[in-house]
Amino acid sequence: MLKFLALGAGAAATGLAVPAEATSVPRQALRDRPRPAAPVVPAQRASADALRLPVNVTDRLRQIQGYASATSVNAGDPIDFHVAVARPQPFTVTVHRIDGRGTQQVGASGELSGQPRAVPVPDPVTGLIDCDWPVSWTLHTPAYWTSGMYLAVFETRDGDRALTLFVVREDQRRSDFLMVVPFTTYAAYNMWPMDGHTGRNLYRGYLPGGKSGGIDQRAYRVSFNRPFANGGRPKLFDLDIAAAKWLESNGYDVTYATSIDLHEGRVDPARHRGLVFSGHDEYWSGAMRQVLDKAIRGGTHCAFLAANNVYWNIRMEAAGRVVTCYKDAVDPAPGRFGPTKLWRDLGPGHSHAEGRTLGVQYNGIPDRPAPLVVREAGHWLWAGTGLRDGDTIPKLVGGEADGVFPDVPVGYGAQRTVLSESPYTDAKRGRVVQNTSLSVTPEGTIVFDAGTFHWPLALVHGRYTDARIQRATRNLFNRMLAAK
């Protein structure tokens, strides 16, 4: 059963049950908490940027592949890696932290014994593929390691290479910003093994003959206990890497967590000025939404830097290692937040629609990158960019996009400002309009939604780089730091 929270005058209900303490965070604590310097990872020998290392394995040959025992680990605690090789041979693991320049190597294993491991048979009902490979190596993270996004790079003696991503947290440290890495969405898109017959994700599986099928072949449950396809690179994690590199290169005080930490209650919004949802954050449990609601009610700002966020309701199962989402199929065991389908289709009216919180919500997939068309150029977000109403930023609307739904009012009594109005073409929907949104509650809490996948890519060097978006994003984060 869905539960609802009655709010006082001037605020609109979101329809999510929230603990009583969610509304009682003292705002003075947000203004006055100290800003400790981040611990420094000791200098290491020069090493290649792990993001640029060639990853040459395939899911058909499976030369070397591995996964971590958790999506994140608190600094000072251990994390296990489960690794398989195609034929018995030694391999090594190097550990790298992503920073403003690329990566820095911070640790390594000795030579380890590699053994072949079986690919599990998918569950015949749910399509779940869940490996039970033994631990190959345990990394005992030093307590002084800096919170961040880390890569474990696996390399055989033959020179085959794969990787996996994990996050190091600093649970006892306050920071201005907490970046939440969307591992639940990574799992939803993971098609491992892409071998022509076995792999499944929450979108598709394989047809007889090896062609990729559709929803009739998809899984309903996906596990973190398996490697990521594509040599270990999660789909769209370049958005999160771009955000992390920009935050760090601009000197912001930032720590990191994952969507699993959000679900498990390891994120206390009151310890941060703002929560940063860096990439494509599509799959949300009810517990994750409760933390987001607690953040906004307690005065912690929220920045969604991409698009199509808070879209599917999911259940986290098997101690947080399995993501369950039946979508349009019948959910055989709905939880207390309802069946695992679109949030916007849960509850009466639009009470659970993501636009109630974000100001905008997913409305399509541009068939090609389109220009972002600026609105409200006098708003403080656009200050110093030189932009005027109607100016365009080339190719910024791409991947997926969000827009205003007039029948979905913004909650929290917030005032929404629409900062772009960008026409694009969706192959199924025809002409659609993208909107960037910024909402402010009566208490001054900011909720920003960029409304396009290309926004974080514009923050770093690459094909979508744009100094005006970089300036606007600095304006956003600096306002969050200054806001009372």
What is the per-residue DSSP string for 52-114?
TS-----TTT-SEEEEES-SEEETTSEEEEEEEESSSEEEEEEEEEE-SSSEEEEEE---EEE
Q: What is the pLDDT of residue 26?
A: 33
Q: What is the pLDDT of residue 43?
A: 38
Q: What is the pLDDT of residue 52?
A: 86
> What are the tens digits of pLDDT across the range 287-297?
999 999 999 99
Q: Does pTM top 0.95 for this prediction?
A: no
- Of 317, 269, 344, nearest to 123 by C-alpha is 317
CB atoms within 10 A of CB 152: 25
Coil vs helix vs strand at 470: helix
- Of 274, 279, 324, nearest to 306 by C-alpha is 279
Alpha carbon distance 27, 29 (integer Å): 5
Spatial contact of 44 and 142, defined as CB atoms under 8 Å apart: no
Q: What is the pLDDT of residue 1?
A: 34
Measure CA of the first residue to CA of the last residue in the chain; give whole Å.
Answer: 37
Q: DSSP state, 270?
A: G
- Supply 67's token pair: 């996964």
Half-sphere exposure of 18 (CA within 13 A, CB side): 22
Strand partners, 386: none
Q: What is the pLDDT of residue 483?
A: 77
Q: What is the pLDDT of residue 13?
A: 37
Q: What CATH code is assigned to 235-482?
A: 3.40.50.880
For 266, phi and psi rounded to 5 degrees? -85, 0
Alpha carbon distance 280, 260 (integer Å): 15
Coil vs helix vs strand at 290: helix
Strand partners, 335: 338
Alpha carbon distance 83, 67 (integer Å): 7
H helix runs in 325-436, sequence order:
355-358
The pLDDT profile of the chain, 484 residues, written as one tens digit per residue, is 344 232 222 333 333 433 322 222 333 333 333 333 333 334 344 467 888 888 889 999 999 999 999 999 999 999 999 999 999 999 999 999 999 999 999 999 999 999 999 999 999 999 999 999 999 999 999 999 999 999 999 999 999 999 999 999 999 999 999 999 999 999 999 999 999 999 999 999 999 989 999 899 999 999 999 999 989 999 999 999 999 999 999 999 999 999 999 999 999 999 999 999 999 999 999 999 999 999 999 999 999 999 999 999 999 999 999 999 999 999 999 999 999 999 999 999 999 999 999 999 999 999 999 999 999 999 999 999 999 999 999 999 999 999 999 999 999 999 999 999 999 999 999 999 999 999 999 999 999 999 999 999 999 999 999 999 999 999 999 999 997 5
